[in-house]
Structure 1
Amino acid sequence: MKKIALILFIISDLAVLVSEFTGISWMYTIGKPLIMISLLLHYLLACEPINRSRALILAMVLSLAGDVLLMNEAYFIGGLVAFLAAHVFYIFAYRQHRREESENALLGLQRVRLAFPIILAGTGLVVVLYPVLGDLRLPVIIYASVLSLMAINALFRHGRTSTGSFWMVFGGAVLFMISDSILAVNKFLEPVQHAGFLIMSTYILAQYLIVNGLLNHPHE
């Protein structure tokens, strides 16, 4: 069953990415919701019931809701809110999947120094977009802040989990920021060539890495 879930995930990914180049709308309509459905199924089958994280499950369900809502421009704000909530639950999931005490954990100035590029990236995007956001300024600022906080919490797992788990989750969080940044620039600032493909490919890989990174956290 685990293999079936991953095969479904790969097929849905390919359907969405191919549709971005071919314009075949039914592939996108069917494939996009199946991305998170199949990934959630993969998580449930791969994780022992005792180790399942409700926060991670909620994050994936909210991501699914965001995916569906963003398929219609009229529900952009609804999609934004769904992904905002998903990032909050990802933060909770990250904190569940880390050791509380570790000699290699980031401390004090280390945290500030390593988190600074993430803060700079999130702030820089808002500064660039601010003049063209209009009534969406506050929602986008709040979203960018929570998105940056999600990536920072992924960073703060350093030394508190296995090396593989850390890099997968942190890499996924960074890719999530990249995906949302491309989406924002394309929507509000100027068209980005092959935007749909770039947004979805980075998003798909981000979700996969986050979920499998948390699956690889060594439970005691």
Structure 2
Amino acid sequence: MSQAWKQPAALYVKSVGPKLIPFLKTFCIYFVLWLPTSNPSWISALVKCLPVLSLAFFVLAHGFSLGTLPPYSRKILSGLLFSALGDVFLTWGDQGFFIHGMLMFGISHILYSWAFGLRPLRLGLALAILVLGAVYYVAVYSYLRGPMVYALVGYVLVLGLMSWRATARAGLSRYHQSWSRGCTAAGGVVFVVSDLILSIDRFCFALPHARAIVMSSYYIAQMLITLSIVEHSDQDNLWKRN
């Protein structure tokens, strides 16, 4: 690891560490309370949403410290808010609101993809992700029923779009050693893993400790995507000029 990479890392941690305390506290609260999913309530929905809402507050607080909220940050903020709505719907997922939650998260992925941009395209990566998505869908197809047969197609496509744009940016020219791009790439991959485990546990067969794995990886993915705004604030459209 080069010295140029180590120095920004230290500055990065020092800058964002204190601002992440609300997220880390609400993250711990969720797992300490561990409210049962069999008896959903507005309290359990709020507890589930708090870590993501804390990340939205992080985005606003960072924008306030800069005196402006750049376009990239606004899109990430919007994605977080739609994710929080998705969490609310999924709290009552077994009561018929699972597809509503998928829709909210689908919008969130589109907003994240919009923020990440379309440069560079890396169409080979897009094709690889599309093939993996198709393989996954074929594998779970026989377990799907009703509207979920079609809803999952759309969700796989937008999740694949988000992960493609997140990972495509990681090696962008001379800015490849970038915390912003590293965070988006890692966040996109972890998000896919989280949703993959969730869907297998829900549609196919029960996985041990699935809820703990899904929620911890989900919150980590959201945190990584959110952290990308810190470096990106100073070079919001720099990638466009490459």
TM-score norm. by structure 1 comes to 0.83
Match of 2:80 in 1: 60
Match of 2:144 in 1: 133
1:87-166 pair list within 5 angstroms: 87-95=109-117, 106=120, 111-135=122-146, 136-157=148-169, 158-159=171-172, 161=175, 163-166=178-181
1:54-104 deviation line (CA, Å, top 9, x unaligned): 222211110010011111122111101000011111111112xx8x6xxxx
- Cα 1:17/1:124, change in 2 over 3 Å: farther
Query: Cα offset for 1:17?
Result: 2.6
Q: Tell me the distance in 2 between the aligned counterparts of 1:7 and 1:69.
A: 26
- Cα 1:16/1:28, change in 2 over 3 Å: farther
Aligned partner letter, 1:140: L
Q: Pick from 27, 34, 37: which aligns with 1:13?
A: 27
Q: Pick from 35, 53, 58: which aligns with 1:37?
A: 53
Match of 2:3 in 1: none
Contact 1:115 1:155 in 2 (8 A): no
Match of 2:106 in 1: 84
Q: Tell me the distance in 1 between the aligned counterparts of 2:75 and 2:144.
A: 31
TM-score norm. by structure 2 comes to 0.76
Contact 2:197 2:210 in 1 (8 A): yes
What secondary structure, in the 3-state scheme, does the structure 2 residue paired with 1:184 have?
helix
Query: Cα offset for 1:207?
Result: 0.4
Q: Tell me the distance in 2 between the aligned counterparts of 1:50 and 1:57.
A: 10
The answer as to 2:228 corresponding to 1:206 is no
What secondary structure, in the 3-state scheme, does the structure 1 residue paired with 2:91 have?
coil
Q: Tell me the distance in 1 between the aligned counterparts of 2:133 and 2:103.
A: 18
Query: Cα offset for 1:8?
Result: 1.9
Aligned partner letter, 2:20: L
The answer as to 2:67 corresponding to 1:51 is no
Structure 2: gaps spanning 5 or more residues: 1-15
1:167-209 deviation line (CA, Å, top 9, x unaligned): 1101100111111111100000000110100100110110000
Q: Tell me the distance in 2 between the aligned counterparts of 1:187 and 1:18.
A: 23
The count of residues paired between Structure 1 and Structure 2 equals: 207
Contact 1:17 1:200 in 2 (8 A): no
Match of 2:13 in 1: none
Aligned partner letter, 1:159: L
Aligned partner letter, 1:32: K
Structure 1: gaps spanning 5 or more residues: 101-105
What secondary structure, in the 3-state scheme, does the structure 1 residue paired with 2:208 have?
coil
What secondary structure, in the 3-state scheme, does the structure 1 residue paired with 2:195 have?
helix
CA RMSD of aligned residues (A): 2.5
Q: Tell me the distance in 1 between the aligned counterparts of 2:23 and 2:101.
A: 21
